[in-house]
Amino acid sequence: SENFNANVVKVAKKIKKLGQDDPRTFIHSLKVGLALTLVSLIYYFRPLYAGFGVSAMWAVLTVVVVFEFTVGATLCKGLNRGFATLLAGVLGVGAHHLASLSGEKGEPIILGIFVFLLATASTFSRFFPHIKARYDYGVLIFILTFSLVAISSYRVDEILEMAHERLSTIIIGSVTCIVITISICPVWAGEDLHNLVALNMEKLADFLEVFGGEYFIIAQDGANVVVSKDDNPFLQGYKSVLNSKTSEESLANFARWEPGHGRFSFRHPWKQYLKIGALTRQCAYQIEALNDYINSEIQVPQEFRREFQQSCTKMSSESGKALKGLASAIKTMTYPSSANDHVENSKTAANDLKTTLKAALLENTELLQVIPAATVASLLIKIVTCTDKIAESV
């Protein structure tokens, strides 16, 4: 029993944490409950139920499967479902008429062939990336509705009335979802994408701002001092950027279905976010390579190190600041003027570093020991270039 209590407490804590991390999840759950309760009213009021009959269950079914977290996803599914049902219903009734021409015996065979062919073709079409991304759910519903209408037409006599009842309940379900999702604390996929792209940049910026310091603390201690990287959240944050492609793409996909909201118009250039996201990831890959050097041993001669440290720290922190500036420019949708200064600064630092390295050679320092440092420098230069590219496309 004690064990059980401990488990309950653990689960309760998890629930609380999830709710605090993103209170929208909790609100979303309430919205789903509300939508379901609303459509179930059809059952409870006699006049409504008399109108729809058993088809009322399609409204419930629609709400459960269509209601998604973001407005874009709900709209995408709702519209897909509505149009696919309409199209498949019309085709299904058509198939029924064609099949009924061939008499009592031939009808099931013809219907079977129709269903087989359409299901095969539609399933195959789902493998095309373009269709998969936008209309996957619609094609699924198309297969479903066509099969149901075509097959049950063999047994149900009032096929037209059935199709009509079903379509109207599905529309009721979809509209309920869409109205509730937009009117109560809407979660916009577009806004999420906007914030995600800016947040990812900030994560990289956090890393770069801290990196200079971290790296040289170790260098000053001589070497071999293994700083536990995992303790510093700033140095770990960028990892999530590496795998952000999937979520960015799905958000951009849903954002396209959304009407204008807040500062975003209907045809907001969502693709531009994907481009910026790709560049940010590119930069994150460089940082990933750079991160491996934090714990590497460096034994650079004293005189060389001072200058080297100066330019490296400057490059790192200036590109960090530039990225922060760009992120906030994205957030506020303004022209990134301060960021451009920082990009210039980091470029200057990169040039300084080149000079330092040149000078180091003349002093005849041990090349082998400069190499990790040089690699770090070289990667930082790449990051500066990357930042510059991002700045251009914002």
Burial 134-170 (b: 16+ CB within 10 A, else e): ebbbbbbbbbbbbbbbbbebeeeeebeebbebbbebb
One-letter identity of residue 168: S
Alpha-carbon separation of residue 142 from 86, 92, 96, 147 (angstroms): 9, 10, 16, 8
- Number of residues engaging its own copies in binding (CB under 8 A): 76
In this chain, which of 75, 143, 178, 276 binds its own copies, going by CB under 8 A? 143
Q: Would you count residue 117 as binding its own copies (CB under 8 A)?
A: yes
Q: Would you count residue 93 as binding its own copies (CB under 8 A)?
A: no
Q: Are 319 and 346 in contact (CB under 8 A)?
A: yes
Nearest CB to its own copies, comparing residues 333 and 367: 367
261 three-state secondary structure: strand
Distance, CA of 75 to chain centre = 16
Q: Scanning residues 46 to 85, which ones bind its own copies (CB under 8 A)?
A: 49, 54, 56-57, 60-61, 64-65
In this chain, which of 23, 269, 371, 393 binds its own copies, going by CB under 8 A? 371
Tell me the two tokens of residue 57.
Answer: 């269950």
Q: How many CA atoms lie within 13 A of 250 on its CB side?
A: 11
In this chain, which of 123, 220, 265, 393 binds its own copies, going by CB under 8 A? 123
Nearest CB to its own copies, comparing residues 33 and 259: 33
Nearest CB to its own copies, comparing residues 187 and 329: 187
Give the shortest CB-364-to-its own copies separation in angstroms: 8
CA angle centred on 243, ends 239 and 244, rounded to 5°: 105
Q: Would you count residue 240 as binding its own copies (CB under 8 A)?
A: no
Segment contacting its own copies (CB under 8 A): 145-153, 254-262, 265-273, 313-321? 145-153
Q: Would you count residue 124 as binding its own copies (CB under 8 A)?
A: yes
In this chain, which of 34, 160, 223, 225 binds its own copies, going by CB under 8 A? 34
Rounded-to-10 torsion of CA 325, 326, 327, 328: 50
Q: Scanning residues 156 to 215, which ones bind its own copies (CB under 8 A)?
A: none
Segment contacting its own copies (CB under 8 A): 72-80, 87-95, 208-216, 369-377? 369-377
Q: Are 76 and 250 in contact (CB under 8 A)?
A: no
Nearest CB to its own copies, comparing residues 268 and 382: 382
